[in-house]
């Protein structure tokens, strides 16, 4: 308890500048005060030019970044390279929560369609409703009947399922000849059944797929 | 291997600005590219003012920071609060590697002397020699015979031991009535002997201390 008191004191770092830097760095996600201090001391060891370049990169990222007007992913130009590509299937749209998910799916090399980045998922606990997300723009994108399939690739959490269901309902009300799918849920490749949670295992039996002698992976 | 290739590609993030920001953040110690990306995307969600404040804190830290001219710790003023304090024992100097160690020792509440921050330890592998550290200033500080004891509180690694021995030799050559000590090494409080490494356990037997019936902790 005594230690905790010390760590919370204002003059902890014998310098207000250092305290401010630690406070600033520890505002980053998943970063504690010890890590923040390491960051600050690491920057102090660098040259003036390096620290200026560090700060400028952050400022430029914020001031010059663009969001693709079609998929709402981060881009340097008005439209991102994926949305502009002629080699991609523009009739298949994969709906994801954020840009990290785009990268994860791209890394699999299994998808050749385009994306739609919602910028979050519906989460009443965090005050995020449908209007805060790029759902209206998804509906607007689908409406001209140029899209064949929407793949909903959202997290398999309660919030993810809520968002999936909400988008499904909105899409259904359009009465378009559109296939709406969601990514498969089941036992992860390489996992033992013994250590798979009950809900996943139960669902994987209900949603079993035809076996034709071909290994999936 | 394919995944690795993807993660190393330049256009990984579909934006050069974002790639630069990830490269910048991943230059911080112990920060991988996934964490760096989380940091960059977190900053993108903040307001312009918040991001400017973030960058300014970093710039100010570098441009306005002072190092105490006596102990070489970080300070807002020419001398740090510890070196200026009338309540501290200025005849006992604890030599440490860096400012984190000052904080760790301060948090124990067991030391009322002053510090001397070397700014590193001798490490030929990293190209750090005695001249790169605040060793000359330590010798200069000791020379006027106003110091009674030097406590060497350096890491118990090969580099730490080398630095301890180097400073000890330099101090001995001064021929001053000075006590030179090093922090105790032994079995950590709360540890089982069974799980203590052999070197530590062996040393703790060789360097056993008199037991007088009083608990140390």
- pLDDT tier for residue A146 given thresholds of 50, 70 and 90: confident
pLDDT for B79 beyond 70? yes
Q: How many CB atoms lie within 10 A of CB A91?
A: 11
**Could you report the per-residue pLDDT of B14-28, keeping only the tens digit for each?**
788 899 999 999 999
Contacts of B73 in chain A (CB under 8 A): 14
pLDDT for B217 beyond 70? no
Q: Which residue of B has its CA nearest to A9?
A: B107
Q: Which residue of B has its CA nearest to A19?
A: B61
Mean of per-residue pLDDT scores for chain A: 86
Alpha-carbon distances of B123 from B101, B120, B130, B161, B165, rounded to whole Å: 18, 9, 9, 11, 13
**Could you report the per-residue pLDDT of A31-84, keeping only the tens digit for each?**
999 899 999 989 988 999 999 999 999 999 999 888 899 999 988 888 888 999
- pLDDT tier for residue A6 given thresholds of 50, 70 and 90: very low
Please report the pLDDT score of residue A5 as a whole number: 39
pLDDT for A116 beyond 90? yes
Q: Is B14 left (phi over 0), alpha (psi -120 to 50) or beta?
A: left
**Could you report the per-residue pLDDT of A152-205, keeping only the tens digit for each?**
999 988 999 999 999 999 999 988 888 999 888 888 878 888 888 888 888 888
Report the alpha-carbon distance of residue B91 to residue A121 in Å, rounded.
Answer: 61
Q: Which of B1, B47, B51, B58 to mutate to test the interface with A (most CBs of A within 10 A)?
A: B58
- pLDDT tier for residue B196 given thresholds of 50, 70 and 90: confident
Please report the pLDDT score of residue B3 as a whole number: 41
Contacts of A28 in chain B (CB under 8 A): 38-39, 42
Distance (Å) from the C-alpha of residue B83 to the closest C-alpha of chain A?
11
Report the alpha-carbon distance of residue B83 to residue B89 in Å, rounded.
Answer: 10
Mean pLDDT of A114-129: 93
Report the alpha-carbon distance of residue A79 to residue A68 in Å, rounded.
Answer: 4
Number of residue pairs across A and B with CB atoms under 8 Å? 161
Mean pLDDT of B81-105: 91
Please report the pLDDT score of residue B45 as a whole number: 86
Q: Is B175 left (phi over 0), alpha (psi -120 to 50) or beta?
A: left
Q: Is B31 helix (H, G, I), strand (E, B) or coil?
A: coil
User: A64–B17: do the CB atoms touch at under 8 Å?
Assistant: yes
User: A65–B7: do the CB atoms touch at under 8 Å?
Assistant: no
**Residue B16: which residues within 8 A CB-CB, separation 6 or more?**
A76
**Could you report the per-residue pLDDT of B111-153, keeping only the tens digit for each?**
899 999 999 999 999 899 999 999 999 999 988 778 999 999 9
Distance (Å) from the C-alpha of residue A46 to the closest C-alpha of chain B?
9
Q: Which residue of A has its CA nearest to B67?
A: A15
Yes or no: say if A73 and A82 are a contact pair by the CB < 8 Å rule. yes
**Residue B13: which residues within 8 A CB-CB, separation 6 or more?**
A74, A99, A103, B19, B22, B37
Q: Is A109 on the interface with B (CB under 8 A)?
A: yes
Please report the pLDDT score of residue A214 as a whole number: 67
Mean pLDDT of B72-98: 91
CB burial of residue A130 (10 Å; 0-12, 13-18, 19+): middle
Q: Tell me which residues of chain A, numbers 17 to 56, contact chain B at a CB-CB cutoff of 8 Å.
A: 17-18, 20-21, 24, 27-31, 35, 37-44, 46, 48, 51-56
Please report the pLDDT score of residue A215 as a whole number: 60
Q: What's the token pair of residue A111?
A: 């998808």
Mean pLDDT of B37-53: 92
Tokens 């000590």: give the residue.
B181
The partner residue sitting opposite A55, judged by closest CB among B18, B59, B102, is B59
- Domains of chain A (ranges; CATH) run 2-64 (1.10.8.420), 87-206 (3.40.1360.10)
Q: Give this prediction's pTM.
A: 0.72
- pLDDT tier for residue B199 given thresholds of 50, 70 and 90: confident
- pLDDT tier for residue B2 given thresholds of 50, 70 and 90: very low
pLDDT for B108 beyond 80? yes
Q: Tell me which residues of chain A, numbers 82 to 101, contact chain B at a CB-CB cutoff of 8 Å.
A: 82, 98-100
CB burial of residue A82 (10 Å; 0-12, 13-18, 19+): buried
What percentage of chain B reaches a pLDDT higher than 90? Answer: 51
The partner residue sitting opposite B76, judged by closest CB among A16, A28, A61, is A16
């Amino acid at each position: 308890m005594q230690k905790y008191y010390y760590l919370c004191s204002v003059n902890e770092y014998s310098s207000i500048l250092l305290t401010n830097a630690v406070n600033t760095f520890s505002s980053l996600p998943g970063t504690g005060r010890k890590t923040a201090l390491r960051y600050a001391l690491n920057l102090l060891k660098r040259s003036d030019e390096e620290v200026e370049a560090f700060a400028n990169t952050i400022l430029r990222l914020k001031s010059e970044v663009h969001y693709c007007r079609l998929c709402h992913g981060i881009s340097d130009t008005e439209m991102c390279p994926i949305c502009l590509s002629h080699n991609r299937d523009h009739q298949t749209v994969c709906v994801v929560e954020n840009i990290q998910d785009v990268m994860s799916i791209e890394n699999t090399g299994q998808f050749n369609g385009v994306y739609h980045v919602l910028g979050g998922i519906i989460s009443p606990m965090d005050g995020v409703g449908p209007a805060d997300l790029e759902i209206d723009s998804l509906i607007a994108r689908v409406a001209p009947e140029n899209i064949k399939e929407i793949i909903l690739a959202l997290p398999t959490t309660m919030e993810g399922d809520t968002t999936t269901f909400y988008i499904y309902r909105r899409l259904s009300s359009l009465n378009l000849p559109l296939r709406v799918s969601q990514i498969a849920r089941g036992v992860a490749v390489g996992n033992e059944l013994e250590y798979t949670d009950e809900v996943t295992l139960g669902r994987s039996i209900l949603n079993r797929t035809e076996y034709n002698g071909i290994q999936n992976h």
